Structure 1
């Protein structure tokens, strides 16, 4: 069977098994089953993984941008806040869903499961 690339499926927010069905039912709520192939996602959990990556990547972009603008143009503090707080917030929201989908797709691709199964 031809295995799908989990990164591509994650970026597209599609089912990591078939690549067709949507992985999410809402903005961040994962479907319990794929609408295309019926794959079970009820136990799929990305945990805090996406937040860690976003914190490092978006934080670095925001800090670099803020320092660059400060040293190059010397704007007032209120203007810096007006520019960078919404920018960092929007960038965070833009990448949160794909990062979560990538981590879930990597879980499915590698056959990872929860370490503890409560009955």
Structure 2
């Protein structure tokens, strides 16, 4: 776990979507499905800088949930489908379009935070004198 080694910049898309460390590209980013590890098991990068907040959920809602809800509404309006039809069509479509993208999107957002050195905004006070 060398702290003095030079790490080449890695594409956030490349490492994030695979759930790999944004610094070395080898260590795992996740401990479980969506839980971030405390640090990289290969290079020792501390992941405490990472805070994707609701970013992954926002993207999934915009790009997956809305189309799957439209699909369910279309089935209802076009066919006046009973509830069991929605249970075997709309529910699986919603689950398959909403849950799988969460992990790669969270990985991409964390890797982007590292790559672009994104930090929480701070107020800068001028020194008088």
Query: Shorter-chain TM-score: which interval?
Result: 0.7 to 0.9
- What residue in structure 2 maps to residue 110 of structure 1? 116
Q: What is the TM-score with the length of structure 2 in the denominator?
A: 0.77
Q: Distance in 2 between matches of 1:23 and 1:96?
A: 14
Offset at residue 84 of structure 1 (A):
1.0
Structure ranking higher in helix proportion = 1
For the pair shown, which has the larger CA radius of gyration, 1 or 2?
2
SS at match of 1:47: coil
Label 1:108 to 1:6 Cα distance change in 2 as closer, same or farther (>3 A).
same
- What residue in structure 2 maps to residue 76 of structure 1? 81
1:1-119 equivalences under 5 Å are 2-67=8-73, 69=75, 74=79, 76-78=81-83, 79-115=85-121
Offset at residue 51 of structure 1 (A):
0.7
Aligned length: 115
Offset at residue 58 of structure 1 (A):
0.9
Q: Given that residues 31 and 42 in structure 1 are in contact (C-alpha distance below 8 angstroms), is that contact kept between their aligned partners in structure 2?
A: no
Q: Given that residues 65 and 97 in structure 2 are in contact (C-alpha distance below 8 angstroms), is that contact kept between their aligned partners in structure 1?
A: no
SS at match of 1:60: helix
Q: Which runs of 5+ in 2 are unaligned?
A: 1-6, 123-129
1:25-76 superposed Cα distances (whole Å, 9 cap, x missing partner)? 111110111011111102311101111100011123303433555576x262
